[in-house]
Amino acid sequence: MAVDDITPRATWEVLRSDPDAALIDVRTNAEWNFVGFPDLAEAGKEPLMISWQVFPSMQVNAAFTDHLRKAGLTPLNKLYFLCRSGARSLAAAQAAQAAGFAHSFNISDGFEGPPDAEGHRGQVAGWKAEGLAWRQR
């Protein structure tokens, strides 16, 4: 079964309306601290911060799906995976799906999306470019 892509805005709408929906931000601690992360307060939720790859080696987190379970997620939850641009989150969603989390989705264009003509992210597509709530620590 393939993992479906979903836009940041459609993800936001699901998170607001579905109590079983969760956003899993699979980026690194450095990204959460210096780039920011989705602010889900208006939906009455917090994003789950579970890195797909471990900084600085960027090895895949072998305990990733265990962390999903430890966070209280079950196969009944609808899981929306987010990274910088949609690549790591797709891999994470595929791993979650293979581990029995059937309702796993990849947030297309991620938090920052692709770079613009000047090489800057966050302007063309993604969570930030969509004008969705976010914050920094």
Q: Who's near 18: CB < 8 A, 6+ residues apart?
A: 78
Tell whether the model's pLDDT for residue 119 goes beyond 90.
yes
**4: Cα separation from own chain's centroid:** 13
In the three-class reduction of DSSP (H, G, I as helix; E, B as strand; rest coil), residue 8 is classed as helix
> Per-residue pLDDT for 1 more than 80?
no
Instruction: For residue range 69-110, list pLDDT tens digits in order.
Output: 999 999 999 999 999 999 999 999 999 999 999 999 999 999
> Can you give the pLDDT at residue 81?
98
